Amino acid sequence: MRTNRLLPLTASAALVLSACGGGGESVDTGGGGGGGGEGGTLVAAVSAEPDQFDPHVTTAYPSFQVLENVYDTLVVPNAEDLTMQPSLAESWETSEDGLTWTFTLREGVTFHDGSEFDSADVVYSYNRIIDEELSNAFRFQNVASVAADGPRSVVITLTQPTPNLLERIGSFKGMAILPEGAADQVDLTTEAVGTGPFQLESSDASSTVLTAYEDYWGGTPSIGGVEFRYITEPAAALTALQNGEVQWTDNIPPQQIESLQGDDTLELQTTPSVDYWYMSMNYARPPFDNRDVRRAISFAIDREAVAEAAWFGAAQPNQTAIPEDSFFHNDYAPFERDPEQARQLLQQAGVQTPLRMGLMVTDEFPETVTAAQVIASQLGEIGIEVSIETLDFATWLDRQGQGDFDAFMLGWLGNLDPAAYYQEQHQTNGPNNYQKYSNPQVDQLLQQGASETDEEARKQAYDQAAQLIVDDVSYLYLYNPDVVQAWAPGLSGYQIRADKAINFETVELP
Amino acid sequence: MVVLAGVSVIVFALVHLVPGDPIRLALGTRFDQATYDALRARSGLDQPLVEQFFGWFGRALGGDLGVSFRSGETVTSLIAERLPATLTLAFASILVALLIAVPLGTISALRPRSFVDRVATVLSQIGISVPEFWMAIVLILVFAGTLGWLPSGGYVPLTEDPGAWAQRLLLPAVVTGVVSGSVITRFVRSSVLEALGADHVRTAQAKGLPQRQVFTWHVLRNALLPLVTVTGVQLAYLLSGVVVVEIVFSWPGLGQLALQAVQARDYPVLQGAILLFAVVFLLINLVVDLLYTAIDPRIRR
Amino acid sequence: MTGQPVPQTAPSPDATEAGVRSTQRPPRPRWRETLGLLARNPTAAVAATVLLLIVLMAVFDETLAPAGPNEISVEDRLQAPSWEHPFGTDDLGRDILSRVILGAGVSLRVGFLAVAFALVVGALIGLLAGFYGRWVDDVLMRFMDILFAFPAVLLAIAVLAVRGPGAGNTALAIGIVYIPVFARVTRASVLGVREEVYVRASRSVGASDLRLLTRHVLPNAAPPIIVQTSISLAFAVLAEAALSFLGLGTQPPNPSWGLMLAEGRGFIDIAWWLAFFPGMAIFLTVLCFNLLGDGLRDVLDPRQRTLMAGGGR
């Protein structure tokens, strides 16, 4: 799904903001959506309402939960290891110099409006993103041109080798292929014309309804449709699942995981996600410009306790960004909790304790509020008085953008490629380098990683960059949480994914 | 009208005073200057504030409340989408409230300082003092969780499935109804008491009119006036969205819409919603005034 | 949140201009007598005592609390009530009893500040409007109407969005919401007093407006305002809880009852004590303020000129 972009805005199960209601049609209330097979509707409880349905414009996770089932991209991440596999493109070739990529498109694909899919649709969709400067335009940074070469072939020309091009165009449905001219013909904010397994039927303040697309190129889905019902309260979503009102939910409070393991009214699964949560300090605000101070703070924090507090064991503490299951994982953990050394480092830096530090968090992501309280108490032990500032996300982003903070905590979600994990956050003057970190060596390594086509060499570059980032405490990495989802017993064909893409194409009702 | 214009000006000023940039927010954490500029120009936020206000106000008078920054839908359609849920809950709550308040208040006024009166007074005090979100949570836990009798939340339109509609409406309507009902009970009690002591009632009693007739014709009629007022007030309050209860019960009402709009800095939606609330408030006041004239012959004359 | 105060939308018989019009100068409220009467009302007396205890608890919170409010110990999380932790521990292993005790100060402080603000501003506006009448009345009360036409919740939320969250701003937001209530009560009460014989008499002997206001009008118009204050305190505590529940009021890790309730909500089916005790604390405090307000009303304001209770509160 989304690469490297926080579910922003009203997305997320934020305690307060929350979208609205659950409910919706109750046609299938009472289990199983009509006993499975043809015509049955799966009811999925999600925590928030999609903001809109234009895949190129929205940045909200709840929208992509729906769009995942409606649109297709040229390539998609494999459910198992998230490597890119064919979708609308059957195959692709790269030129010797790595600057020209030629994609061969699948035949016999039709859009939900009946029109045939061909190369003009790809060119149109990509150029729409580039020309209108839409949210994902940055993904085409290195792209010089997108051109059709006959109806079945698309050529992308690059300005520099881009080993992660597939990830850039396929990691989530924000890079969806629309039919040519779609934006002028339909209102994409409320309607959808995709090539995916389901069509958008209707959407209101309590649910979004999809129906199976019979001419789907991958074969008609076995269920008749999906209803995404918005249930803000995790406890309510869980109750709804247990008494059969819904058959699937991702709105599970982490504290319930343990008690639900043995519950036979539902099936619960967890898998490590590709998300990471971190804290970052402002290099423009003394004494946080001092490497020793940042390292002292890093030594003072018990990541186990933070992860345990926020996720009740459903998160892996990690001192770098990339989780263990990834090819690019780097087993580097130099900071063992050590308050004594932390105090020494503070002294060495000439810092007077108590030192006051503001820690900016947002109730949009309640785990930041929980984690911040644990961090505050741990830093209190080494003489740093943390004042937690819980802001709404709009104010939070504003202050982050203006550099008006001592420290903040947040996460990056849905990352697939190491460039997405590190580049924009740590490169000097990178667009998301709010902490104002600058290390020429890191810049050079990141640059090298971005264009290196040999996987091993690429991993090495990122490993070295990551170590410097961790040592300098540009980000103070905390943990990778698990994906937690639950469904009705007997529901089959559903696969829980590390990138939190939710795909009901092959699901069969009990 | 003056009030409406005043409300509009204040809303507009307040909304734009709020720190936080809707465009920045729409981009999520990933920032890109070019995309930002493009979006900002499209939203009209780069225009001078005064111009924005008059443009908006002029269009609002014609019924065009603009387009949501967040969803791209028109504000009127967003509001229309949520209006049924809000109306349903508000009227159901008022019904519950009156079913509680009228009998309870009347009985306790008829037997002041009796045991029944004391119980009723304590009950209404409790009803007013319970945090409604707490009551909501406890009810969900008991009726949806432990007993499993009712769904834990959500909304189903009446036209779609009356059974499910009623099931889902029950708990939230009881929560807000109990609170409103407790407030109204106190009004009913005091106004019935007052009416009982009024001169013309005593005269009627002295004339030897049957108790029942005295009660229905003289007491209830007089007690109706304050009841209408307080019911109107409660209704206005319920219609402007009981945000907390809506959140706890996943009820897709206007309160949630407005709260979301604040959080997302979705100026057009927020302005539209508050304007609507103000109109509703004034309309209810008008209706209450009209009812007054209808009920109270003194005012009619 | 709660907080919709009762507006007197239409000329209501018991609350507005039609106040008592005796020709006799009414006795000023006598404090000792008031207290005596209050003491004879058992409910009000109990409520006052409980409130006093809560206030004492808030004053001596640090001494009384068995543990600090923010002593986090993740290993000890979610423990059921026991001798060691009478109210149990929360999701971060903090002692809930201590947090409830320390939360009293937060809730009461916000409540008092909010009502004090609303009282001072609202009573001043009501006094001026009621005393001077004519255009002063029109302008001021029209402005109050505008403020009143806002849904209370949204007004408070908007104020907090502008000013940022936190205890002080929460008090301000709640205070602003309640200004019109105090303005209306005061105005109604002043109107009832303005034309009294003794006021006219003082005026005819050439007393200045200031003297008239402070010596004659205000003291005699005070009873309904006092009753309103007690009732408003109840709603202010509820409002603080509701705003904190929405994440806009008191900020973590500070212990506020509303915030604790919000945090405990997600644990209700595995650890009921997280939300139960703070909920009880709010309920009890609000109930006592309401009962005390009722008692005061019986004693001070038998004609019930006060705006009773709150709308949706």
Walk me through the domains of chain A, giving residue ranges and CATH numbers. 71-184 (3.90.76.10), 276-482 (3.10.105.10)
Quote the minimal CA–CA distance from A388 to chain C in Å: 7
Confidence of residue A23 (pLDDT cuts 50, 70, 90): very low
Instruction: Please return the burial class of B52, using the count of CB atoms within 10 Å of its CB with bins 0-12, 13-18 and 19+.
Output: middle
Q: What is the DSSP letter of A255?
A: G
Neighbours of C203 (CB within 10 A): 15
Q: In terms of residues, how long is chain A? A: 510
Is the minimum CB–CB distance between B240 and chain A shorter than 8 Å?
A: no
Q: What is the reported pLDDT for A25? A: 34
Q: Is residue B301 part of a domain?
A: no
Statement to judge: residues B87 and B30 lie in one domain:
no
At the top level of CATH, the class of C50-309 is mainly alpha
Of B27, B61, B95, the position where a domain reaches its end is B61
Q: Which of A24, A132, A187 sits opposite B154 (nearest CB)?
A: A24
Instruction: Give me C256's structure tokens.
Output: 């506020």
Q: Is residue B300 part of a domain?
A: no
| Contact by Cβ (8 Å): A507, A289 | no
Q: Which of A59, A243, A398 sits opposite B19 (nearest CB)?
A: A398
Bridging pattern class, strands A84-86 and A75-77: antiparallel
Residue closest to B20 by CA, chosen among B263, B274, B257, B268: B263
Residue closest to A200 by CA, chosen among A37, A352, A368, A54: A54
Instruction: Please return the burial class of B83, using the count of CB atoms within 10 Å of its CB with bins 0-12, 13-18 and 19+.
Output: middle
Statement to judge: residues B16 and B88 lie in one domain:
no
Q: Is the dihedral of CA A427, A429, A432, A435 positive or negative?
A: positive
* Highest-scoring range by mean pLDDT, A450-454, B147-151, C34-38: A450-454
pLDDT digit string, tens, across residues C172-199: 999 998 999 899 889 888 887 877 777 7
State chain C's mean pLDDT as an integer: 79
Q: Which of C159, C304, C311 sits opposite B234 (nearest CB)?
A: C311
Q: What is the reported pLDDT for B1? A: 67
Statement to judge: residues B53 and B81 lie in one domain:
no
- Report whether pLDDT(C85) > 60: yes
Determine what percent of chain C is predicted with pLDDT higher than 70: 84
- Report whether pLDDT(C238) > 80: yes
Mean pLDDT of A54-79: 94
Instruction: Give me C81's structure tokens.
Output: 């009530």
- The Cα–Cα gap between C240 and C177 comes to 12
Confidence of residue A138 (pLDDT cuts 50, 70, 90): confident
Residues of B in contact with A230 (CB under 8 A): 250, 252
Distances (CA, A) of C285 to A295, B291, C257: 46, 37, 11
Cα B18 from chain centre: 25
| Contact by Cβ (8 Å): A359, A388 | yes
Instruction: Give me A212's structure tokens.
Output: 């199976």
| Contact by Cβ (8 Å): A185, A103 | no
Statement to judge: residues B267 and B120 lie in one domain:
yes
Q: Is residue B68 part of a domain?
A: no
Statement to judge: residues B7 and B137 lie in one domain:
no
Q: Is residue B124 part of a domain?
A: yes
Residue C162, C-beta contacts closer than 8 angstroms, at least 6 positions apart: B14, B17, B18, B19
- Substitution target in B7, B9, B138, B244 with the highest count of C β-carbons within 10 Å is B244
Instruction: Please return the burial class of C31, using the count of CB atoms within 10 Å of its CB with bins 0-12, 13-18 and 19+.
Output: exposed
- Report whether pLDDT(A299) > 90: yes
Confidence of residue C120 (pLDDT cuts 50, 70, 90): very high
Instruction: Give me C283's structure tokens.
Output: 């309920």
Q: Which residue has the higher pLDDT, B7 or C93?
A: C93
Instruction: Give me A368's structure tokens.
Output: 């930041």
| Full residue range of the structural domain in which residue B210 is found | 75-295
Confidence of residue A293 (pLDDT cuts 50, 70, 90): very high
Statement to judge: residues B48 and B85 lie in one domain:
no
> Taking CB atoms and an 8 Å limit, are A135 and B28 in contact across chains?
yes
Ramachandran bin of B295, using left for φ above 0, alpha for ψ from -120 to 50, beta for the remaining angles: alpha
Of B31, B61, B91, the position where a domain reaches its end is B61
Count of pairs with CB atoms under 8 A, one residue in A, one in C: 61
Mean pLDDT of C165-173: 87
Mean pLDDT of A178-186: 93
Residue closest to A62 by CA, chosen among A241, A219, A228, A206: A228
Statement to judge: residues B123 and B258 lie in one domain:
yes
- The Cα–Cα gap between C129 and C126 comes to 5
Confidence of residue A96 (pLDDT cuts 50, 70, 90): very high
Q: Is residue B281 part of a domain?
A: yes
- Substitution target in A18, A231, A363, A389 with the highest count of C β-carbons within 10 Å is A363
Instruction: Please return the burial class of B133, using the count of CB atoms within 10 Å of its CB with bins 0-12, 13-18 and 19+.
Output: buried
Statement to judge: residues B16 and B81 lie in one domain:
no
Contacts 24+ apart (CB under 8 A), B44-51: B49/B16
Is the minimum CB–CB distance between B271 and chain A shorter than 8 Å?
A: no
Statement to judge: residues B140 and B289 lie in one domain:
yes
Residue closest to B179 by CA, chosen among B144, B230, B142, B229: B230
Count of pairs with CB atoms under 8 A, one residue in A, one in B: 207
| Contact by Cβ (8 Å): C183, C123 | yes
Q: Which chains touch B (3+ CB pairs under 8 A)? A: A, C
Q: Which residue has the higher pLDDT, C218 or B99?
A: B99
Is the minimum CB–CB distance between B211 and chain A shorter than 8 Å?
A: no
Statement to judge: residues B227 and B282 lie in one domain:
yes
Residues of B in contact with C232 (CB under 8 A): none
Q: What is the reported pLDDT for A2? A: 35
- Report whether pLDDT(A19) > 70: no
Is the minimum CB–CB distance between A389 and chain B shorter than 8 Å?
A: no
- Report whether pLDDT(A215) > 60: yes
Determine what percent of chain C is predicted with pLDDT higher than 90: 21
pLDDT in tens, chain B (301 residues): 677 778 788 778 777 777 777 777 777 666 777 777 777 777 777 777 787 888 888 888 888 888 888 888 889 999 998 999 999 999 999 999 999 999 998 888 888 778 888 888 888 889 989 988 888 888 887 887 778 788 777 788 888 888 888 888 999 999 999 989 998 888 888 888 877 777 777 777 777 777 777 776 677 777 787 788 888 888 888 887 688 888 888 888 998 888 888 888 888 888 888 888 888 888 888 888 888 777 766 654 4
Q: Is residue B41 part of a domain?
A: yes
Statement to judge: residues B17 and B95 lie in one domain:
no
- The Cα–Cα gap between A11 and C79 comes to 32
Mean pLDDT of A75-96: 94
| Contact by Cβ (8 Å): A237, A485 | no
Of B15, B36, B61, the position where a domain reaches its end is B61
Residues of A in contact with B71 (CB under 8 A): 51-52, 189
Confidence of residue A430 (pLDDT cuts 50, 70, 90): confident
**Helix ranges (DSSP H) in chain C:** 31-40, 42-59, 61-64, 96-132, 134-149, 152-163, 167-194, 197-204, 209-211, 218-245, 257-265, 273-300
Q: Which residue has the higher pLDDT, A331 or B38?
A: A331
Q: What is the reported pLDDT for C28? A: 53
Domain boundaries, chain C: 50-309
Bridging pattern class, strands A407-412 and A355-362: parallel
Place of tokens 């209706």: B287
How many folded domains does chain B comprise? 2
Quote the minimal CA–CA distance from A263 to chain B in Å: 14
Mean pLDDT of A68-97: 94
Q: Is residue B66 part of a domain?
A: no
- Report whether pLDDT(C16) > 80: no
Statement to judge: residues B42 and B179 lie in one domain:
no
Residue B19, C-beta contacts closer than 8 angstroms, at least 6 positions apart: A394, A395, A398, C161, C162, C164
| Contact by Cβ (8 Å): B133, C260 | no
Ramachandran bin of A411, using left for φ above 0, alpha for ψ from -120 to 50, beta for the remaining angles: beta
- The Cα–Cα gap between A374 and A386 comes to 10
Residue closest to B140 by CA, chosen among B125, B151, B127: B151
> Taking CB atoms and an 8 Å limit, are C261 and B131 in contact across chains?
yes
Q: What is the reported pLDDT for C220? A: 81
Quote the minimal CA–CA distance from B119 to chain C in Å: 12
Q: Which of B27, B73, B250 sits opposite A22 (nearest CB)?
A: B250
Neighbours of A350 (CB within 10 A): 10
Q: Is residue B26 part of a domain?
A: yes
Please state the φ and ψ torsions of residue B67, each to the nearest 5 degrees: -125, 135
* Highest-scoring range by mean pLDDT, A133-137, A167-171, A387-391, B145-149: A167-171
Mean pLDDT of C2-23: 36
**Residue of chain A whose alpha carbon sits nearest to that of C164:** A391
- Report whether pLDDT(A263) > 50: yes
| Contact by Cβ (8 Å): A96, A158 | no
Confidence of residue A29 (pLDDT cuts 50, 70, 90): very low
- The Cα–Cα gap between C189 and C192 comes to 5
